[in-house]
Structure 1
Amino acid sequence: MLHPRSTPFDDITSRASQPLPLPVFSSCWYLVVTLDVTEFRPDENTHFQVCANKMEDVLSSEVFGRRIICDGEYGTVCYVGTIPPTSGLWLGIEWDNPLRGKHNGSHEGRRYFTCSQLNTLSDISLRGYEVSNAGQKEEILHSCPNISVLNLSKNLLASWENVADIACQLKKLNTLDLSENRFYLPSHPSLLANAFENLTTLSLNQTGITWKEVLQCAAMWPVLEELHLASNGIASMERPVNCLQCLTLLNISDNKLTDEKQLYALSELPRLKQLIITNNRISSVEFPVTQFGCSTELFSSLTSLSVDGNNVSLWSFINELNKLKSLQSLNCQNNPLMESEKNPGTVRQLIIAKIANLKYLNKTEILPEERRGAELDYRKMFGIDWLKAGGSHKSEFNNLCVMFLVEHPRYTALVKKYGAPDDEEIKSLQPVNLKNKLLCLTIKCPDKPDQQPIKKNLPDSMSVQKLKGLLFRLLKVPGSELKLTYESSKMEGKEIELENDLKPLQFYSIENGDCVLVRW
């Protein structure tokens, strides 16, 4: 097997240096732990006597199946009894760690219990086991040939040749974690490719590797699909040429990327679907296109982008992402942009409205109703700017200035989808006085036909919780028992639930003339 400090595999563990007390007995009994069996012996200072048969019965019922820990290793008691020709009672332990012990539950041809077999294991972690090389020739091949997932992080590996010696014995290996090791570059990477011919996932986090070194080594990984390079201090990137062409996921989080041009180096990877660049220093991005509203051919397969924890502060960043024709999922929390509006819900609505094909934002699904509401609000919110920039209700008179198109590249598409904002919608946005912020709402109780509808002028900043307080005074029903929904004239026959008591009415895009439905 894999050798820590080049010692034989069977010597990874050693005899316990301290006796381990048995939980169900007094201190007059103790364990002496060998590599895979444990003998009970009476303490020399005790006067407690018991016949062997009775002791075996007691131990069998009390100890069998118990969990133990010795030298930090966990195990399960699978046998209690004698082991001829030795004297005394012994415990047979199946260790959680498959590398602990020499035997498999049998002794001198007799089986006492059954252990898991190394040759059946497919997923092994040797993190922090001081592994430095493959050990004896073909020992891994004969001992555990079915390993497909192997964690060798935080070990003493320094040579890619040594890693290849391990990998070449594991024909089914597809996932390998080498994080927190330090490697020098191989002389001829392509000569090691056969060892990694089936490797699809590789983790090199905290290895100090540069992007240039990654490209130099890439010939070793001909079918690699996922590559994790977090926390390596990577500050510059260049285009992969004739390598990494099968890559579908790239994680370069917690590095030092600042220049948007560094990302262009990745833009022509034909199969790249998921890009994780969280906790870098990216602030802007730009994808050149021939005209406004068009998609770019860069990142043609990218469906998921994570830019959490960067320096994104301008809406132009979000505008550019709309050019990525396959983008469906965006994570962008912990950026200055997310704090640009007093109401976080407003930021979310604006992002949804600006990126046409987005289906998930910050790991939350965007439902059709939410998209429709966000796009209608966006169309209304910037209606005045649209008119001032040359927009017209008659398409033949539209002559929008370039500045407006740069700031709102999707606005024209939204006008085609929903029509131009009418005068009433635009007037409702003008913040002349408090009256402009009041909503004229009709409150109905559909399950109480005797209850007459109530008309109220309410501020759009009123929270759902305060609305319930008002309804308590009007209807004499505790707010905790009330369930509120509303109907909009723009979505006839559709009720939208006001499920969050802390959100203001404006969060749900409630408008003048809408109807609040109250049930209890």
Structure 2
Amino acid sequence: MLKYCEVNGPGEPGEIRNTTPNIEFLNLDGSLLTSWEDVAAITKQLDHLHELHLSENRLRLPFDPSAHCLDFSSLKTLILNRCELTWKQILECAPMWPQLEHLSVEYNQIAELQRPEGVLQTLVHLDLYGNPLVQDSLLSISALPRLDCLNLTATGISAIQFEDAPPGHHTSMFPALTHLIVDQNNITEWSVVNELSKLPSLKKLSCRGNRLVSSDGNPATANQMLIAKLGQLVTLNGCGIEPLERRGAELDYIKMFGEEWLKAGGPGHPSTHFTNQHPRYQELINKYGAPEEGELKKPGPSVLKNQLLKITFTFPDDSSRKPIEKRLPASMVVQKVKGLLYRLLKVPPSDLRLTYTSTKMVGAEFELSNDLKTLQFYSIEDGDQILVRWS
């Protein structure tokens, strides 16, 4: 670690190789180095160097970048934050880094992105945090074949469009991208999320600090819509998406837009406008079935609170015990359900394990794992069964 240590050059020829030849990580942030030739004179003596930090340096561009490709031949990670670099300058330097996989260029002067021709083709992770990007130029980096993670936090983007793919289909752009970070931007339209659903490999999305709002203004509902619209997503805003959470989000999405779906043509051929707005809706209908008329109504909070569900309790490990039918409010938490069962069975709540089955998902069994969540949270509906087991 030589961060802010006023390093101004490589020293005597061969001195670094003779004294510290096995360095793998080197931090030269805020040094007194003035050119890439100075940096290359250091790194050429470090055959095992994998990670190099050069943030807050002002380095003169090399006269012949290709002449230094052997000097950085083992480098995998390069950090160049706050170096006042443009993307064009980065591309000019890129021939020096033939094996680079992780490039961080936060808070530089990157606005217009140009296509990397013959350089950065090994890049896996690109961090553009805090650069004032021209969003229309974003697709210039979409052909990078190995790019797995892209950080676009605080870059000012408000839209992205993949015109090569119609709604509900995959784009050929960003083919390897699994992790996208678009926090603290100006994204306000759900059409942007529809475009992100075209990314063929997207598994992780972070979208905090934008103004994506659901009709009820509830941030939790907005997160549910993100999950429902992005069918391949396994992580949202750093949190894993459990199968039960996805199921609940998708069922709620069907109900939320069911009335609009019917008005747009319903089971026949929904209008092009509806399909463009909700590319996954038909897929969800195929998965869960069409919403029933009663599900399309939008009850107010007081109605929802007092809505009673007919639930049948069954006891798969005790064949002698008959099923018990109860009407329970949708707002009832699992903890209170266990309290009710304690009074019926005299089994301590801590020993009870509850799962449920749905008429819409025959053969599937879902665990009620959180005592503080409501029956509504788990998307339990009228006529469902709760299976009761205990130790």
Provide closer, same or farther for how the CA distance between residues 284 and 139 of structure 1 changes in structure 2, counting only shifts above 3 A: same
SS in 1 for 2:171: coil
Q: CA separation in 1, counterparts of 2:67 and 2:255? A: 62
* Mapping 1:494-513, distance limit 5 Å: 494-513=364-383
SS in 2 for 1:320: helix
* Mapping 1:145-160, distance limit 5 Å: 145-160=21-36
Residue 412 in structure 1 maps to residue 287 in structure 2 = no
Residue 209 in structure 1 maps to residue 88 in structure 2 = no
CA deviation after TM superposition for structure 1 residue 515, in Å: 2.6
SS in 1 for 2:276: helix
Q: Where does residue 328 of structure 1 map in the other structure?
A: 203
Checking the alignment, whether the CA contact within 8 Å between 2:121 and 2:145 is kept in structure 1 is yes
Name the larger-Rg structure: 1
Q: CA separation in 2, counterparts of 1:306 and 1:378? A: 24
User: Could you tell me which amino acid in structure 2 is paired with residue 174 of structure 1?
Assistant: H
Residue 273 in structure 1 maps to residue 152 in structure 2 = no
* Mapping 1:333-482, distance limit 5 Å: 333-337=208-212, 344-392=219-267, 398-419=268-289, 421-422=290-291, 425-431=292-298, 438-442=307-311, 444=313, 446=315, 453-458=324-329, 460-465=330-335, 467=337
Q: CA separation in 1, counterparts of 2:304 and 2:288? A: 24
SS in 2 for 1:415: helix
Residue 218 in structure 1 maps to residue 218 in structure 2 = no
Q: CA separation in 1, counterparts of 2:213 and 2:344? A: 38
CA deviation after TM superposition for structure 1 residue 518, in Å: 5.0
Q: CA separation in 1, counterparts of 2:373 and 2:107? A: 38
Provide closer, same or farther for how the CA distance between residues 269 and 432 of structure 1 changes in structure 2, counting only shifts above 3 A: closer
Q: CA separation in 2, counterparts of 1:513 and 1:489? A: 8
Q: Where does residue 72 of structure 1 map in the other structure?
A: none
The percentage of aligned residue pairs carrying the same residue is 48
Checking the alignment, whether the CA contact within 8 Å between 2:333 and 2:374 is kept in structure 1 is yes
CA deviation after TM superposition for structure 1 residue 233, in Å: 4.7
Q: CA separation in 2, counterparts of 1:187 and 1:342? A: 56
Q: CA separation in 1, counterparts of 2:217 and 2:337? A: 21
Structure 2 alignment gaps of length 5 or more: none
Provide closer, same or farther for how the CA distance between residues 464 and 208 of structure 1 changes in structure 2, counting only shifts above 3 A: farther
Q: CA separation in 2, counterparts of 1:418 and 1:492? A: 10
Q: Higher RCO, 1 or 2 (CA under 8 Å, sep at least 6)?
A: 2
Deviates more, 1:204-213 or 1:332-341: 332-341
Q: CA separation in 2, counterparts of 1:402 and 1:339? A: 22
Checking the alignment, whether the CA contact within 8 Å between 2:248 and 2:377 is kept in structure 1 is no
Q: 1:217-265 CA distances to partner (integer Å, 9 max, x unpaired)?
A: 11222222210112225333222233222212101113333x4313212
User: Could you tell me which amino acid in structure 2 is paired with residue 426 of structure 1?
Assistant: E
User: Could you tell me which amino acid in structure 1 is paired with residue 296 of structure 2?
Assistant: L
Provide closer, same or farther for how the CA distance between residues 432 and 453 of structure 1 changes in structure 2, counting only shifts above 3 A: same
Q: CA separation in 1, counterparts of 2:164 and 2:285? A: 22
Checking the alignment, whether the CA contact within 8 Å between 1:380 and 1:426 is kept in structure 2 is no
CA deviation after TM superposition for structure 1 residue 337, in Å: 2.1
Structure 1 alignment gaps of length 5 or more: 1-124, 393-397
SS in 2 for 1:440: strand
Q: 1:110-143 CA distances to partner (integer Å, 9 max, x unpaired)?
A: xxxxxxxxxxxxxxx2223221110000011112
Give the TM-score normalised by structure 1: 0.66
Q: 1:262 aligns with which of 115, 125, 137?
A: 137
Q: 1:160-186 CA distances to partner (integer Å, 9 max, x unpaired)?
A: 111010011112222211122222222
Q: Where does residue 287 of structure 1 map in the other structure?
A: 162
CA deviation after TM superposition for structure 1 residue 372, in Å: 4.2
Q: Where does residue 171 of structure 1 map in the other structure?
A: 47
Provide closer, same or farther for how the CA distance between residues 170 and 485 of structure 1 changes in structure 2, counting only shifts above 3 A: same
Q: Where does residue 314 of structure 1 map in the other structure?
A: 189
Provide closer, same or farther for how the CA distance between residues 171 and 484 of structure 1 changes in structure 2, counting only shifts above 3 A: same
Checking the alignment, whether the CA contact within 8 Å between 2:165 and 2:198 is kept in structure 1 is no
CA deviation after TM superposition for structure 1 residue 464, in Å: 3.8
Q: 1:52-91 CA distances to partner (integer Å, 9 max, x unpaired)?
A: xxxxxxxxxxxxxxxxxxxxxxxxxxxxxxxxxxxxxxxx
Q: 1:138-168 CA distances to partner (integer Å, 9 max, x unpaired)?
A: 0111122222222222322221111010011
Provide closer, same or farther for how the CA distance between residues 231 and 146 of structure 1 changes in structure 2, counting only shifts above 3 A: same
Q: CA separation in 2, counterparts of 1:490 and 1:339? A: 26
Checking the alignment, whether the CA contact within 8 Å between 1:439 and 1:511 is kept in structure 2 is no
Provide closer, same or farther for how the CA distance between residues 504 and 339 of structure 1 changes in structure 2, counting only shifts above 3 A: farther
Checking the alignment, whether the CA contact within 8 Å between 1:346 and 1:507 is kept in structure 2 is no
Checking the alignment, whether the CA contact within 8 Å between 1:430 and 1:436 is kept in structure 2 is no
Q: CA separation in 1, counterparts of 2:189 and 2:50? A: 41
Q: Where does residue 117 of structure 2 map in the other structure?
A: 241
Provide closer, same or farther for how the CA distance between residues 402 and 193 of structure 1 changes in structure 2, counting only shifts above 3 A: same
